[in-house]
Chains A and B, each alone.
Chain A
């Protein structure tokens, strides 16, 4: 995965497998009466094309003779930053319905802003600002966003 060539081989294999899975799933789509375009035709075509595309990607990368191009992956520190951000994001989304959008967003912002390099105070202030503006938006536009602990 260090060079674009090896990365293409890996992603090609993955795309090919995805295509095969889609094609297999498409086979079991039931046909309906009187259809001119069978219900399974397009999904099947997409699956097959995806698989072929992935395969060609692999073949093209293997037969590639040119200069190796490195993929610009992040360093350890960078990976850790992305990892923490993604985990924070997943937890944030997971608790949205429980805590409500304003509170969940506030905590998410208040944690992530200092982590990415600002002061804790900046994090808390941004968090509060976010929560208040989201709350006002939900309230005045009567949007059906979850309010969670803030109640309906």
Chain B
């Protein structure tokens, strides 16, 4: 992978050809639509649309597939913001503040900042991909199972800040999430457990069902009981964000780009983890952290930026080693191989024009996504004008559709319904829901990396402290837990029951 401006310009020349721009546009458009549908995330989107590209030559086909991928990443935030349905785990932090903004009549601003932040972060991490790919690719090689485990523990420690003042209930919620994720097969050995004799439970509880149930169904149930006429109190359709908002988020976007990009280099570290990390980081750095969860625009910009930065960052190991960092990129890898292109160091030497055309097309694609999404903001924001008696049942249909499309199993839909009731009760009893989601997302990786680390170290737990990167993560996460518990202890037991802040 040797960078040269000649190759990059050559790539731009190919990417800017009218035909390739058109396919990038089609990809972005279809990707955005697929991203808006809950449940059908980028990976199933690409898989569904892969056959459609077979009539194209390799370069436009891969340009289109890549465009579907980041187009879907743009679209994922729409339902999270408008109707509180995060279609995939990575949009959960977006829903926390985005939906609050929508309730306050700032849906347009939330959607627009998420598109702008996605664009900025996508472009920043593309610069990283263009100029530093070879150096960065080796970064991922330092990450063995112990580092992953430590990273996942650090992810879990975010529960402390996600739970806010309701720390104890947040911890209980996280443990419930972990327990739910344990049901089904052991990820390493495939042996069934906690199935209580039910064959259906062998399939396990998919976290997308959990998310759709908790957020979408729970929200609808809460609205049904109040017999409201509109879901969003304030139905002012505000098109564009104020420039002051964009300006305020400038550092947020940059920071989340960097975090997202570096985490995107790591195989298995899906955008779901990155968006939570970026959200948490901004909450900590913010001058008024208490505004997070109540409609802070930074709380939308950070996860959305990180999401797109992770998706672009994932192209580094994909192109340099042929290592897909997530399910969506694995499908894309399949697409590349379908055309007889084996990604890896050799691809850069054997087919440099192709690689650089793809990279150049991603700059173009990001711009297309922004241009495509900003005008759509006005359309999506009008969802707020739909009266609840119509919107509510439609959300339920969407939720069922989304849950069914995870694995095309009715079982997942039933799980979603159960978590809908759980979500309703959690709202009423003031249990924070984000920790449950985070824990169920992290659980599998946590378990796999722990098992692998212990196999590696022959059962010694010291492996997490003798390897420098793992040790840093472990110390950080323990520090974060201790700090949270101490803060809770100091604030006094008397208040603890009251301030369930969800």
A residues lining the B interface (CB < 8 Å): 4-5, 7-8, 11, 15, 18-19, 21-22, 25-26, 29-30, 32, 35-37, 39-40, 42-43, 46-47, 49-50, 53-54, 56-57, 60-61, 64-67, 69, 71-74, 77-79, 81-82, 85-86, 89-90, 92-93, 96-97, 101, 105, 108-109, 112-118, 122, 126, 130, 134, 137, 141-145
**Are A126 and B458 in contact, with the CB atoms below 8 A?**
no
Which of B171, B175, B421, B497 is in CB contact (< 8 Å) with A46? Answer: B175
User: Which of B220-228, B350-358, B473-481 contacts its partner?
Assistant: B220-228
**Are B410 and A96 in contact, with the CB atoms below 8 A?**
yes
User: Which of B60-68, B260-268, B303-311, B392-400 contacts its partner?
Assistant: B392-400
Docked pose: A36 CA to B460 CA in angstroms: 9
Docked pose: A103 CA to B420 CA in angstroms: 23
Closest residue of B by beta carbon distance from A49 = B175
Could you tell me the distance in whole angstroms from the C-beta of A65 to the nearest C-beta in chain B?
7
Chain A interface secondary structure, helix, strand, loop or mixed? helix
**Are B193 and A43 in contact, with the CB atoms below 8 A?**
yes
**Are A22 and B430 in contact, with the CB atoms below 8 A?**
no
**Are B387 and A118 in contact, with the CB atoms below 8 A?**
yes
**Are A39 and B191 in contact, with the CB atoms below 8 A?**
yes
Contact pattern, B 381-420, Cβ under 8 Å of A = 1, otherwise 0: 0000001111011101100110011001010011001001
Q: Count of chain B residues with Cβ under 8 Å from any Cβ of A?
A: 66
Could you tell me the distance in whole angstroms from the C-beta of A126 to the nearest C-beta in chain B?
5
Apart from A96-B404, A145-B405, 19 more pairs, CB < 8 Å: A8-B429, A18-B179, A19-B179, A26-B194, A29-B193, A36-B458, A39-B186, A42-B182, A43-B182, A46-B175, A53-B171, A78-B226, A85-B220, A89-B420, A108-B396, A116-B388, A117-B229, A143-B405, A145-B401
**Are B454 and A108 in contact, with the CB atoms below 8 A?**
no
B494 at the interface (CB under 8 A from A): yes
**Are B497 and A108 in contact, with the CB atoms below 8 A?**
no
The answer to whether A42 and B229 touch (CB under 8 A), given A15-B176, A66-B498, A82-B224, is no
Max count, chain A CB within 10 A of own CB: residue among B169, B191, B389: B389
Could you tell me the distance in whole angstroms from the C-beta of B165 to the nearest C-beta in chain A?
14
**Are A89 and B226 in contact, with the CB atoms below 8 A?**
no
Contact pattern, B 414-437, Cβ under 8 Å of A = 1, otherwise 0: 100100110011001110000000
Closest residue of A by beta carbon distance from B427 = A72
**Are B171 and A145 in contact, with the CB atoms below 8 A?**
no
Which of A26, A32, A108, A142 is in CB contact (< 8 Å) with B397? Answer: A108
**Are A71 and B389 in contact, with the CB atoms below 8 A?**
no
Could you tell me the distance in whole angstroms from the C-beta of B186 to the nearest C-beta in chain A?
6
**Are B450 and A71 in contact, with the CB atoms below 8 A?**
no
Residues of A within 8 A of B410 (CB): 93, 96-97
**Are A93 and B429 in contact, with the CB atoms below 8 A?**
no
Residues of B within 8 A of A49 (CB): 175, 178
Could you tell me the distance in whole angstroms from the C-beta of A76 to the nearest C-beta in chain B?
11
Residues facing A in B480-502 (CB within 8 A) are 493-498, 500
**Are B401 and A61 in contact, with the CB atoms below 8 A?**
no
**Are B224 and A85 in contact, with the CB atoms below 8 A?**
yes
Closest residue of A by beta carbon distance from B193 = A29
Docked pose: A60 CA to B171 CA in angstroms: 14
B13 at the interface (CB under 8 A from A): no
Residues of A within 8 A of B497 (CB): 4-5, 8, 60-61, 64, 66, 69
Docked pose: A42 CA to B396 CA in angstroms: 34
Closest residue of B by beta carbon distance from A85 = B224
**Are A118 and B397 in contact, with the CB atoms below 8 A?**
no
Chain A to chain B contacts (Cβ below 8 Å), 17 pairs: A29-B191, A30-B191, A32-B189, A36-B459, A39-B193, A43-B179, A43-B193, A46-B175, A46-B179, A46-B182, A66-B498, A77-B227, A78-B227, A82-B225, A92-B400, A101-B404, A109-B397
**Are A108 and B393 in contact, with the CB atoms below 8 A?**
yes
Max count, chain A CB within 10 A of own CB: residue among B191, B393, B495, B496: B393
Contact pattern, B 447-461, Cβ under 8 Å of A = 1, otherwise 0: 100110011011100
Residues of B within 8 A of A26 (CB): 193-194
